[in-house]
Structure 1
Amino acid sequence: MSVTKLTARTFFQGSVLASVLLASSVSALPPEHEVRRLMLATEAAVAESRWGEAGEYLNRLQALEAEKPADYLYYRGRVMQEAGHYNEARSALEQYIAAGGREGRHYDSALRLITEVEKAQRAVANGTDASASGEPVAVIEPAGDESVQSLRRLYLADSDAGALTIHMNSLLELNGWRKDRGAVLDGTPPDIQYKVSAGNGEVRIQQAQITTSGGPRRVSTEVMPVYGVNPAVQWDCESATQTCWIYDPRDGSRLFQLGHNRGKTRDAARTFGRLIKTLQNPE
């Protein structure tokens, strides 16, 4: 791992300590001026590749209860990329594009960075990136207290793949994504629903999503052949959007959009990886 990347990653590990140390030196500037000051400091640190320092300023900006400029998202994405946190980097850069549009000062640069991040995600998914970040990964092994055998007994399934499929669908249903997170009513289906089925060396993923017109749900199906696919499935959760993602193990793109429940997202990603591995080695 390069010294630059190691330095960039240290700000994530030391963010709590930095917050404590900085608590005693809170700025007397009004929030809007403090935001501008920290943005200038971040920009200067990034320009000089002082990634750890840039990360510290970004952490302080995040803690401020004040409106932040769109450039905050660009620099967050840039520093996250340098630290090897590719999923978070891509999310921040995409949010920057959405917020600033073509008129954004870093529009072209952000688009190029998204392409670089996409390549890095693909390398991680293929196991070829030696500097892969410490983002959550579903390890393909019996997880927690639920072995495949116990899942078969629980669901009365006649195969490992069948038990994992039922368990995956249960986790997806329990953690469905809703736009209005404050009005989760019993029996109210989520805005996005998934159903997974498996067999013949492939996983079929059906997505049903509500439409803005209030008409029938828009349904699409994606088929994923499992042979040659790395069964290490990545996931992460974004506090800003209250959304969790499970990423496509083929190229690192977003595959499942779920509610903000880290435990259920982790278990679903892990189960998905186990299902892929099971299909690659049929009984």
Structure 2
Amino acid sequence: MQLRLTRNLIAGLLLAGGLLAGPLSAAEPAAVLSGAEQERYLSELKRLYLTQDERQALLAHSNGLLETYALSAAYQVGQAQRQDLRYQLRLGAPGELLLREETRGAQGSDLAVRNQRLALFGVDPFIRYDCPPAGISCVLFSPADGSPLLSIVRDHRGAAELAKALSFLIRNLQKG
């Protein structure tokens, strides 16, 4: 039920912001927004997550998207090594974002956790992503070095929205 509610809230947010009108480029997820559209997007997120803090709204939205578009074993029919991939973001030191990756085997018995610190000062804040037509997942790339950062279920709109939210969050964290 939470998954359905999150998807409905995201769809409502996108429709309210008028962001479904044009195609989003994978290389420039946030470049579509002008100053007024950016303010409208951030104010909708603050209203949606009941906070006046842009950073908290962006963090909550990013974590909600990560949960909604998580790559679970159920999506990996026919794959040899099916596993659940779950991610969670937290704030670290100033200019730092903490990414927790949980990998669980298809039977649910094997669990591996990996924590990663993302230093954000001096990096390009725009998150790039790729959703290969033949694959089952979309990959979002690290702004620091372009290496794969995280994988979500193959959904172009979800990847675009997550890349946009993360780009805004990175820009916000770069302010200090």
Is there any run of 5+ residues in structure 1 with no aligned partner, and where? 1-133, 184-189
Q: What amino acid does structure 2 have at the position aligned with 1:204? A: L
Tell me the equivalent position of 1:248.
142
TM-score of the aligned structures, taking structure 1 as reference length: 0.46
More strand by share: 2
Tell me the equivalent position of 1:197.
90
Q: Alpha carbons of 1:240 and 1:150: their partners in 2 closer, same or farther (altered >3 Å)?
A: same
| SS across alignment from 1:176 | coil
State the distance in 2 between where 1:145 and 1:279 align.
17
State the distance in 1 between where 2:102 and 2:128 align.
22
Shift of 1:196: 0.6
Is there any run of 5+ residues in structure 2 with no aligned partner, and where? 1-24, 78-82
Contact 1:204–1:222 under 8 Å retained in 2: yes
2:28 to 128, 134, 137: 137
Q: Alpha carbons of 1:177 and 1:267: their partners in 2 closer, same or farther (altered >3 Å)?
A: same
Query: What are the Cα deviations for residues 182-223 of structure 1, in whole angstroms up to 9, with x where unaligned?
Result: 77xxxxxx8100001124221110011113674252111101
Shift of 1:165: 0.3
Shift of 1:149: 1.8
Q: What amino acid does structure 2 have at the position aligned with 1:197? A: R
More helix by share: 1
Contact 1:192–1:209 under 8 Å retained in 2: yes
| SS across alignment from 1:252 | coil
Shift of 1:139: 2.2
Shift of 1:137: 2.4
Q: Alpha carbons of 1:265 and 1:242: their partners in 2 closer, same or farther (altered >3 Å)?
A: same
Contact 1:244–1:258 under 8 Å retained in 2: yes
Contact 2:137–2:152 under 8 Å retained in 1: yes
State the distance in 2 between where 1:272 and 1:192 align.
18
Tell me the equivalent position of 1:263.
157
Contact 2:76–2:136 under 8 Å retained in 1: no
State the distance in 2 between where 1:252 and 1:265 align.
16
1:223 to 92, 96, 117: 117
Query: What are the Cα deviations for residues 145-200 of structure 1, in whole angstroms up to 9, with x where unaligned?
Result: 952122112112241111100000111111111243277xxxxxx81000011242
State the distance in 2 between where 1:135 and 1:272 align.
13
How much identity, in percent, do the aligned residues show? 25
State the distance in 2 between where 1:269 and 1:257 align.
12
State the distance in 2 between where 1:160 and 1:145 align.
10
Contact 2:130–2:139 under 8 Å retained in 1: yes
Q: What amino acid does structure 1 have at the position aligned with 2:157? A: G
Contact 1:161–1:198 under 8 Å retained in 2: no
Q: Which has the larger radius of gyration?
A: 1
TM-score of the aligned structures, taking structure 2 as reference length: 0.72
